[in-house]
Amino acid sequence: MIRVGLIGFGLAGRVFHAPLIASVEGLELAAVLERSSNNAAERYPGITTYRSPDKMLADTSLGLFVVATPNGTHFEIARQVLETGKSVVVDKPTAITSAEVAELIEELRRDGATLMDDLKTRAKSRTDLKGFITKAAAKLESLAPTTEAAPESDAPLKVGDSVEVGDIRGELIALEASRAVISRGGLRIEVAPDRLRRSSASATENRPAQAKAATVTYSVEGAEGTELNLIGMRTTDALRKLEEFLDTAFLTNRAEVRIVHGIGSGALRKAVAEYLGTSPYCASFRGAEPHHGGAGATIVQMNL
């Protein structure tokens, strides 16, 4: 039985990872990292709740760690787990930049070099080497990119270029000092110029036709791009919709958005607050003013 430590109990940890770990034969959800609440312990009685990664990583009974924290923290936490010699599964993306992924891979290489020195002095056995190779191969497979990214051109972007913002690819139709406009499937998306990157030719050529026809579901014009109504939705569906909405709001430079969740039993409002507390898109959030929905709505300041 492998005792698993789940680092993070936001949307990804609570909805996806924890139920999966708890249901798989051979795995035991033994510990969860939560900064302040005890939601995991309430759902899974008997687990250990930790408040910091350092204390959790010091638990020698844990053999596998699953990282389900905000994207910007994945690299540092994964690096800390690797330093303990334990196995780690990282929710996508593994890191924010390719340089961070390369550093994780280099750390594995350094560990391998140290082990080889120990083998030469007989401080370690061939069994230790075999164990390291097995673990390193699994880690490298999950960390290393499958293909190399094409080098970006040094030429400045211009109207008509194929560009990308996150997972959205489109044609650059307007470019000014403080704003750029992308056309994508009949939708116009306004973003800050420094968020644009040139689309690689190989990615454009190899992308299947079905993916090219993908559309963005949220309008970015007027109030529709700044308000999301979740009233009447189940919590799981509402949180998925909230995640998509914040993603679009971030890409379209919305500084402030309003989430309408209603009052009801308070369960949906609580779930929204818990999710916003772990979202990298959210700089802060507060209850709406009385004339903007009061306790039935939440105002979110985006982390632009």
Residues 241, 20: Cα–Cα separation, whole Å:
21
Residues 15, 173: Cα–Cα separation, whole Å:
39
CATH 3.30.70.250 assigned to 222-302:
no
Confidence (pLDDT) at 146 = 47
Residues 160, 183: Cα–Cα separation, whole Å:
10
Domain segments of the chain as ranges:
2-143, 162-212, 222-302
Are 60 and 31 within 8 A, CB to CB?
Answer: no
Work out whether strand 297-302 and strand 48-50 pair parallel, antiparallel, or are unpaired: unpaired
Confidence (pLDDT) at 186 = 55
Confidence (pLDDT) at 141 = 53
Question: Which SS3 state, helix, strand or coil, does residue 268 take?
Answer: helix
Residues 142, 23: Cα–Cα separation, whole Å:
22
Confidence (pLDDT) at 148 = 47
Q: pLDDT (tens digit, 0 to 9) for every residue of the chain, 304 residues total?
A: 899 999 998 878 888 889 889 888 889 999 999 887 888 999 999 999 999 888 999 999 998 999 988 777 777 888 788 788 788 888 876 666 767 667 766 766 665 555 555 555 555 555 554 565 556 555 555 555 444 444 555 678 888 888 887 667 788 888 888 888 887 655 667 777 887 888 764 344 444 444 333 333 333 444 457 899 999 888 888 998 898 888 777 767 788 999 999 988 889 999 999 999 888 788 899 999 988 888 999 999 988 7
3-state secondary structure 151-210: CCCCCCCCCCCEEEECCEEEEEEEECCCCEEEEECCEEEEECHHHCEECCHHHHHHCCHH
Number of CB atoms found within 10 A of residue 67's CB: 26
Confidence (pLDDT) at 207 = 46
Assigned token pair, 274: 């818990």
Residue 184, strand partner residues: 187
Residues 150, 169: Cα–Cα separation, whole Å:
16
24 closest CA partner among 49, 1, 42, 48? 1
Strands ordered across the beta sheet of 256-260: 227-229, 256-260, 297-302, 282-287
Block residue for tokens 């389900």: 68
Phi, psi of 199 (to 5 degrees): -70, 135
CATH of domain 2-143: 3.40.50.720
Confidence (pLDDT) at 3 = 94
| Single pTM value for the model | 0.40
- The CA-CA-CA angle for residues 191, 192, 198, to 5°, reads 85
Residues 162, 182: Cα–Cα separation, whole Å:
9
Phi, psi of 182 (to 5 degrees): -110, 140
